[in-house]
Structure 1
Amino acid sequence: MAYWFKYGQSDGYSKHFVEAHVVKKRTFRKFTYRGVDLDQLLDMSMDQLLELMGSHNRRRFRRGLKRKHMALLKKLRAAKKNASELEKPAVVKTHLRNMVIVPEMVGSIVGVYNGKVFNTVEIKPEMIGHSLGEFSLCYKPVKHGRPGIGATHSSRFIPLK
């Protein structure tokens, strides 16, 4: 609903109406993992964190992390420690596609091997609970083209180029 006034005229309502819409700011959604925000996740013990995770991840962590997985976490800690405040940490390369992403890894940059190259993955809070391999595809997605000869019975009648 618009009010039109001559130059210099106004009513008190329209002035407050305009001010109310100018003050409004954009709010960003704060990240939570199953209702717990990132700061609290970082402060949690491993047992408390496992209660939030799914059964597959709980079982993997209860059976214990292997030496290679612990070495990866150690390298990620060292890379974060050596980076200055404004810089991103150095890329840590790994073949461990089955490593579950934990809150401690957030902000790190990992080179995940896909069988051919190391794909650089920056770990974000939304990735917690997923494995590293999910973010480095080891196959090229299929782009279906035209059917070739012998693909179907009707393809006999498709003229050759």
Structure 2
Amino acid sequence: MAATLTVWKFADESGADGAVSTLKELTQQDLIKVHDAATVSWPIDAKKPKTRQLNNLAAAGAMSGTFWGMLFGLLFFVPLLGAAVGAATGALTGMLADVGIDDDFIDNVRQQVTPGTSALFVMTSEGVRDRVREAFAGSHAELIHTNLSREDEAALREAFSEEE
């Protein structure tokens, strides 16, 4: 089964950390397989967000910190510094597009993950959807990206929009 990249936004800077605890419990119960994950927490008064790869959740063969570093650098830290950087950024975005990370993804995340918010970036497979949905009910997370099918994405959006 192919891995799914999903990005969840939380309305406060600590929401993603709370979701990590839930994700860890689901992993320990074998209800989802986490290939890799990272969080972004952006304090309201900070110029840049804090990022963290969740090595303790990742399965063997997880992506390196370099992947997350490049992705988060592209999303939050890379200003337009000239043609050389532009060319390198273009090559990087071309490579990432192959795994579902394209210009729309980058723009969407940049617009939504802002000071005072947090986000959970997670690559998963083999999730028991109903149990995962139950575990996250009431977390008030907003799905801002997934490479799931439209039907699966709609089901996730519906599940996470329900209030306790």
Give the TM-score taking structure 2 as reference length.
Answer: 0.28
Larger radius of gyration: 1
Q: Choose between structure 1 and 2: higher helix proportion.
A: 2
Highest relative contact order (Cα 8 Å, sep 6+), 1 or 2?
2
Q: Choose between structure 1 and 2: higher strand proportion.
A: 2
